[in-house]
Amino acid sequence: MPDKTRPYRIIISGGGTGGHIYPAVAIANQLKALNPETEILFVGAKGRMEMTRVPEAGYKIVGLWISGLQRRLTLDNLSFPLKVLSSVRASHQIIKEFKPDAVVGVGGYASGPLLYAATARKIPSLIQEQNSYAGITNKLLAKRVSKVCVAYPNMEAFFPAEKLVLTGNPVRNDIMDSHTKRQEALEHFGLTAAHKTILVIGGSLGARTINQSIAAGLAEIAAAGYQLIWQTGKSFFPEAQEAEKQYAGKGIKAFEFIKRMDLAYAAADVVISRAGALSISELCLAAKPAILVPSPNVAEDHQTKNAMALVQQEAALLVRDAEAKAEVVKAALQLAANEKEQQRLSINIQKLARPNAAADIVKELISLIK
């Protein structure tokens, strides 16, 4: 059992997208639940999403001057080696001052330099890999860290088998009990229980194809009498707001970003989502019938691999990004009208949930400290 008496000092590094940030916050919350005196410092990349999201969750964060390599030749690429050296040096300084008992890397730009510096100093360290296809930073660092916590089986292709622990992805606690919040959720979004609700989430930064598909299909959604909760991301939000005005009073609600995802899931009968690892973990815990539209713009097409892991278990439906404009609204309307299919998908997706992921990861972390 984890030692509840001793407060630890832990650094959690990484970010870039909600898929990295929210698991990191869930791990921090679990550490605090074991001992509120535990001190946690986040390390992120300057200018990235974690620099605002982590303080909103109540934690301190420091930023490194680091970014990823672009696939084409840019000025950023030319400064990349300098950024890496600068960030490794800054990471050594952060570690020297904070004196962590252990370090966790969740993926994203800042994870690399911080874990590199920590392992050079022989500090117990752990990677949490969210996807079914490992990112390049985590693959490189896996040789240096003590443990790798993964969300999917068969990850020996990327990591040393003896370091692997299958834990699942840690998810915010409030999503686990979202099924008890239906009435609160409908009131929060200004919706009614008399009509079914479709939830659209393109990931924390939005998804262009999904947004365009929904915008083109709004008339059909409204005509069928369905309500819509639509998270668009920043760039598409002005367009979605204009579209929303045309359907005033029809239960079409567009948001740049939804902070209360627990309530969004609680209100939803059917979900259209990208197939990011965190979204999938949340859908499993919320037990929602889902149509997954994997992003084609990710390394090694890993979102399709994430989605297929569910499709093969008959736990979700798949619409390819290239076919989304023609198919996704049609698929959502068919699913919203078919309660038997909703129930089948809901039962099957819930079987894949791992509600104890955060606790299991923290248990591994504390065993490394000891």
- Is residue 305 predicted with pLDDT exceeding 50? yes
Q: Distance between CA atoms of 177 and 194, rounded to whole angstroms? A: 22
pLDDT digits (tens, 9 = 90+) for 242-275: 989 999 889 999 999 998 999 999 999 999 999 9
Q: Is 131 labelled as part of a ligand binding site?
A: yes
- Is residue 6 predicted with pLDDT exceeding 90? no
pLDDT over 90 percentage in the chain? 75
pLDDT digits (tens, 9 = 90+) for 119-169: 999 999 999 999 888 888 889 899 999 999 999 888 999 999 999 999 999
Q: Distance between CA atoms of 145 and 108, rounded to whole angstroms? A: 16
What does the pLDDT read at residue 4? 55
Q: Distance between CA atoms of 11 and 15, rounded to whole angstroms? A: 13
Q: Is 144 labelled as part of a ligand binding site?
A: no
**In the chain, what are the domains?**
9-169+356-369 (3.40.50.2000), 174-350 (3.40.50.2000)
Q: Is 204 labelled as part of a ligand binding site?
A: yes
Lowest mean pLDDT among 15-29, 209-223, 303-317: 15-29
Task: For residue 164, list its beta bridge partners.
Answer: 148
pLDDT bin (cut points 50, 70, 90) of residue 1 is very low
- What is the reported pTM? 0.84
What does the pLDDT read at residue 15? 87
Burial tier of 46 (Cβ tally within 10 Å: 0-12, 13-18, 19+) = middle
Asked if 217 contacts 198 with a C-beta cutoff of 8 angstroms, the reply is no
Write down the mean pLDDT value for the chain.
92
Q: Distance between CA atoms of 50 and 41, rounded to whole angstroms? A: 12
Q: Is 18 labelled as part of a ligand binding site?
A: yes
Q: Is 53 labelled as part of a ligand binding site?
A: no
Q: Is 214 labelled as part of a ligand binding site?
A: no
pLDDT digits (tens, 9 = 90+) for 198-212: 999 986 666 899 999
What does the pLDDT read at residue 75? 67
Looking at residue 196, what DSSP letter applies?
-
* Averaged pLDDT for residues 95-106: 97
What does the pLDDT read at residue 135? 80
What does the pLDDT read at residue 275? 94
Q: Distance between CA atoms of 173 and 205, rounded to whole angstroms? A: 22
